[in-house]
Amino acid sequence: MAGKHVILVAEDDVDTATMLEELLTLEGYEVELTATARGALDALAERHFQAVLLDLTMPGMTTDRFVAELAGLGARSPLLIFSARLPHEIQSMAERLNAAALIPKPVDIDALLSALSRVVLAAPGEGG
């Protein structure tokens, strides 16, 4: 489908990633999954996504290094950060990355879909 919104889900927990992939696919999104920090960085360096659901704590590198490398990419895909950490613990990282939303884990499906819809609808169109 030419107009399908592509979402990157960067999550190392297999059950959470699978649940998100199934949910977002049912909602009409195309989903690309990655389970490592390097995989997320590589995917963001290669292409633009309408939104990125991003767990900041993933295998492969420290959170601080991941945030620094992500900020260095200058990636323009809107970030929705979801984390089991308390919001005040990741607030400065979210601000540094200009995140569109902070979504606590366990994920509230309605809050996630609402934030995602808001971000996708606000994103500039890709031709058409």
pTM: 0.86
For residue 2, what pLDDT is reported?
A: 39
For residue 123, what pLDDT is reported?
A: 65
CATH topology of domain 13-108: Rossmann fold (3.40.50)
pLDDT tens digit at each of 128 positions of the chain: 335 899 999 999 999 999 999 999 999 999 999 999 999 999 999 998 999 998 888 888 888 888 788 888 876 788 898 888 776 777 887 887 888 888 888 888 999 999 999 988 886 654 33
Number of C-beta neighbours around residue 5 at 10 A: 21
Distance CA 43, CA 9 (A): 10
Contacts of 104 (CB under 8 A, 6+ apart): 82, 83, 84, 87
